[in-house]
Structure 1
Amino acid sequence: MTEPRLADDEFYTAPEITGHQPGALLKMRKAVLPQLDSVQAWQILYVATDNFGEKLPASGSVIVPDSNAAAGAGPLVAYVPSFHGMGGRCAPSQLLQGGAEREIDHIAMALDRGWTVAIPDGRGLGVHDVGPHTFLAGFSGGAAVLDIVRAAQTIPDLDCLDAPIGVWGYADGGRYAVWAAEMAPDYAPELDLRGVTAGAVIADPGELAERYDLGPYPGLGWAATLGLARANSHLPMLHMVNPIGQTVLSFVQNSTATQVLARFGRPISQYCDRADPWSDPVWRYALDRERSGQRNPRCPLHLYHGTDDIFVPIETAEHLRDTYRAAGVEVSWRDYQCGHYETATEGASEAVTRLSAYLQHQPDRPDKAGPTTFPSEAAP
Structure 2
Amino acid sequence: MTEPQIEDSFYTAPAITGHRKGALLKTRKIPLPQLDSAQAWQILYVASDSFGEKLPASGTVIVPDSNAVAGSGPLVAYVPSFHGLGGRCAPSQLLQDGTEREIDYIAMALDRGWTVAIPDGRGLGVTGRGPHTFLAGPSGGAAVLDILRAAQRIPDLDCSNPAVGVWGYADGGRYAVWAAEMAPLYASELDLRGVAAGAVIADPGALAERYELGPYPGLGWAAMLGLARANPHMPMLHMLNSVGHTVMSFLQTATAAQVLARFRRPVGQYCDQPDPWNNPLWRHVLACERSGQQIPRCPIHLYHGADDVFVPIEGAEQLRDTYREAGVEVSWRDYPHGHYETAEQGANEAVTRLAAYLQHRPERAADSQPTPSETTP
Q: TM range, normalised to the smaller chain?
A: over 0.9
Q: Could you list the per-position Cα deviations for residues 233-278 of structure 1 after superposition, in whole angstroms to 9, with x for gaps in the alignment? A: 1111100111110000001110000111111111111001111101
Alignment match, 2:293: 294
- Residue 213 of structure 1 deviates from its aligned partner by 1.8
How many residues are treated as equivalent by the alignment?
365
3-state DSSP class of the match of 1:165? strand
Give distance in 1, aligned partners of 2:3 and 2:234: 23
Alignment match, 1:128: 127
Change (3 A) 1:28 1:173: same
Give distance in 1, aligned partners of 2:252 and 2:159: 36
**Which letter does structure 1 place at the counterpart of 2:148?**
V
3-state DSSP class of the match of 2:249? helix
Give distance in 1, aligned partners of 2:258 and 2:3: 17
Alignment of 1:39-58 (within 5 A): 39-58=38-57
Establish whether residue 174 from structure 1 lines up as the match of residue 157 from structure 2. no
Give distance in 2, aligned partners of 1:106 and 1:62: 14
Identical pairs, percent: 78
Alignment match, 1:373: none
Give distance in 2, aligned partners of 1:17 and 1:166: 27
Give distance in 2, aligned partners of 1:213 and 1:41: 40
Alignment match, 1:354: 353
**Which letter does structure 2 place at the counterpart of 1:87?**
G
**Which letter does structure 2 place at the counterpart of 1:117?**
V
Q: Could you list the per-position Cα deviations for residues 83-128 of structure 1 after superposition, in whole angstroms to 9, with x for gaps in the alignment? A: 0000000000000000000000000000000000000000000000
Alignment match, 2:248: 249
3-state DSSP class of the match of 1:148? helix
TM-score, normalised relative to structure 2: 0.95
Alignment match, 1:223: 222
Alignment of 1:1-380 (within 5 A): 7-365=6-364
Give distance in 1, aligned partners of 2:105 and 2:76: 12
Give distance in 1, aligned partners of 2:50 and 2:168: 20
Give distance in 1, aligned partners of 2:42 and 2:103: 16
- Residue 7 of structure 1 deviates from its aligned partner by 4.8
Give distance in 1, aligned partners of 2:177 and 2:304: 14
Q: Answer yes or no: is the 8 Å Cα contact 2:297–2:362 preserved in 1.
A: no
- Residue 162 of structure 1 deviates from its aligned partner by 1.2
**Which letter does structure 1 place at the counterpart of 2:153?**
T
3-state DSSP class of the match of 1:334? strand
Give distance in 2, aligned partners of 1:5 and 1:142: 30
**Which letter does structure 1 place at the counterpart of 2:333?**
R
**Which letter does structure 2 place at the counterpart of 1:151?**
A
**Which letter does structure 1 place at the counterpart of 2:311?**
V
Change (3 A) 1:6 1:129: farther
Give distance in 2, aligned partners of 1:330 and 1:4: 47
Q: Could you list the per-position Cα deviations for residues 159-200 of structure 1 after superposition, in whole angstroms to 9, with x for gaps in the alignment? A: 111110000000000000000000000000000000000000
3-state DSSP class of the match of 2:223? helix
3-state DSSP class of the match of 2:69? coil
- Residue 69 of structure 1 deviates from its aligned partner by 0.6
Q: Which runs of 4+ in 1 moved over 3 A?
A: 3-7, 364-367
**Which letter does structure 1 place at the counterpart of 2:232?**
S
Q: Answer yes or no: is the 8 Å Cα contact 1:22–1:55 preserved in 2.
A: yes
Give distance in 2, aligned partners of 1:271 and 1:72: 50
Q: Answer yes or no: is the 8 Å Cα contact 2:133–2:230 preserved in 1.
A: yes
Give distance in 2, aligned partners of 1:276 and 1:319: 25
Give distance in 1, aligned partners of 2:189 and 2:363: 13
* Structure 2: runs of 5+ lacking an equivalent: 367-377
Give distance in 2, aligned partners of 1:331 and 1:12: 38
- Residue 73 of structure 1 deviates from its aligned partner by 0.7
**Which letter does structure 1 place at the counterpart of 2:20?**
Q
**Which letter does structure 2 place at the counterpart of 1:223?**
A
Give distance in 1, aligned partners of 2:201 and 2:289: 10
Structure with bigger RCO (C-alpha 8 Å, 6+ apart): 1
3-state DSSP class of the match of 1:168? strand
- Residue 363 of structure 1 deviates from its aligned partner by 2.7
* Structure 1: runs of 5+ lacking an equivalent: 368-380
3-state DSSP class of the match of 2:148? helix
- Residue 364 of structure 1 deviates from its aligned partner by 3.6
Give distance in 1, aligned partners of 2:3 and 2:79: 24
Alignment match, 1:370: none
TM-score, normalised relative to structure 1: 0.94
Q: Answer yes or no: is the 8 Å Cα contact 1:304–1:333 preserved in 2.
A: yes
